[in-house]
Amino acid sequence: MVKSHLSSIQRHSTIPIHKSSSVGKLQFYIARISKTGLDEISNNHTETVDYFIKDEIFRIQELVQPNPPNWGLDRIDGRSGTDNSFMFPTSSGEDIDVYILDTGVNAQHTDLVGRVTLAPSFVAGDDDSSDSNGHGTFVAGVCCGLTYGVAKKANVISVKALTADGEGQMSNVLLALEWVVQRHTSKPGSKSVVNLSLSGNFSQTTNDAIQEAINAGINFAIAAGNDGVDACQFSPASAPNAMTVGAINANDTVATYSNFGSCVDLYAPGTHITSAWYSSDDASHKLSGTSMASPFVAGVMALYLAEGEYTPATLREAILSNSTLVQVQNRAKIQQYDSMDINDSFHLLYSGNWSDDGTQKIFSIAASGSTHPYQPIILLVILGMLVSLL
């Protein structure tokens, strides 16, 4: 019976029959068939053909990390509260380049090993690209660690721009950004995220350099700062088209140390976060700050980019539109917000809303943008300015 169907279908199939088979009493065949072929079978084989179905794609479902090691992972995958798990798509940031401009990264840490590329050091007088502070390894772990991180398959590119003391000249950061842009533009089709968990005084030069990198198609997650004041006073937090991130506590209150204001785009977990540490290849540590909040966003950016095509603008909009609106609870903060004409609510990072087939439900737009790298010819005017860890 199957053979007679096959001979009939073959006359109308656009490609040869792929396979005929059966599972128990269920007999079926697989073919790419034209509308004419379907009509012919519908008209002439109604007694022997029960139905037609479109071949569908099956995929493994979302992965679940039970009892994640820091509450931040548990918090960002739900609209409210925690449930002792972190759900993430199977792609998990695979093939996305995440640049950690920081104090370096311990490339042999078990949470990151095999996925870390060490860029040349941009710290003057220090050719060692390894981490002698811990901050960079911690940030990389939050963003991309296998245990502690959001995007567990992302590529980590460590770009050392800050010293073992956690500070560095703004010119070094700009040179590091130049290297990132050149590397990104030399890899056609690459998708890149930069995390900047650092801060200095307001600098139009720094903000302009970041904008040029954004124009080249690079996405930025930036720490808002830990002074409890208006983030617009600082750079790179005031860079207008980056994603600037404030910090919340485990009870969804804005951390008292977190900067705020119109330059802050959204908030993410930042208090008492556990992540990888530099002191040994399996060490962990607990820290608080907007430095810890920013890499959560960098990781979520990598998740989105692994699932679809975005420009920096459309990725920013997708993450913001998918965020959770939370009412500010700590009234002291509200008074500061009100003085700046800011609403009594804030956007909380949300990594969820994955559909059953492991893809985002957010509509994505094909990426486009300039690949012209910026020229940091203004370095001489800013030598001596310092940036510091957050």
In a domain, 96, yes or no: yes
Query: Mean pLDDT for each 10-residue chunk of the chain (390 residues)?
Result: 59 52 56 72 69 53 68 88 86 96 97 98 92 96 96 97 88 90 95 95 89 96 94 94 94 90 93 95 94 96 94 94 76 41 66 51 24 26 48
In this prediction, residue 165 carries a pLDDT of 87
Token pair 């072929």 in the structure block, residue: 37
Is the domain of 325 the same as that of 206?
A: yes
Phi, psi for residue 274 in degrees, rounded to 5: -105, 135
Token pair, residue 295, equals 């890499």
For residue 214, the enclosing domain spans 63-348
Amino acid (one-letter) located at 239? A
Is the domain of 167 the same as that of 262?
A: yes
Is the domain of 232 the same as that of 281?
A: yes
- Which one of the listed residues 74, 102, 230, 252 is annotated catalytic? 102
275 is catalytic: no
In a domain, 381, yes or no: no
CATH number, position 291: 3.40.50.200
Phi, psi for residue 105 in degrees, rounded to 5: -140, 140
Amino acid (one-letter) located at 187? K
0.85 surpassed by pTM? no
288 is catalytic: no
102 is catalytic: yes
Is the domain of 221 the same as that of 325?
A: yes
CB-based burial of residue 126 (10 Å sphere; 0-12 exposed, 13-18 middle, 19+ buried)? middle
In this prediction, residue 356 carries a pLDDT of 41
Do 9 and 33 form a contact (C-beta atoms < 8 A)? yes
- Which residues, at least 6 apart from 39, have a Cβ–Cβ distance to it below 8 Å? none
**In this structure, how many other beta carbons lie within 10 angstroms of the beta carbon of residue 124?**
11
- Which one of the listed residues 158, 291, 294, 323 is annotated catalytic? 291
CA 223 to chain centre: 14
Query: Can you say whether residue 67 is alpha, beta or left, with left for phi > 0 and alpha for psi between -120 and 50 degrees?
Result: left
In this prediction, residue 115 carries a pLDDT of 98
pLDDT tens-digit map of 266-324: 999 999 999 999 999 999 999 999 999 999 999 999 999 999 999 999 999 999 988 88
In a domain, 367, yes or no: no
Is the domain of 103 the same as that of 31?
A: no
- Which one of the listed residues 5, 109, 135, 347 is annotated catalytic? 135
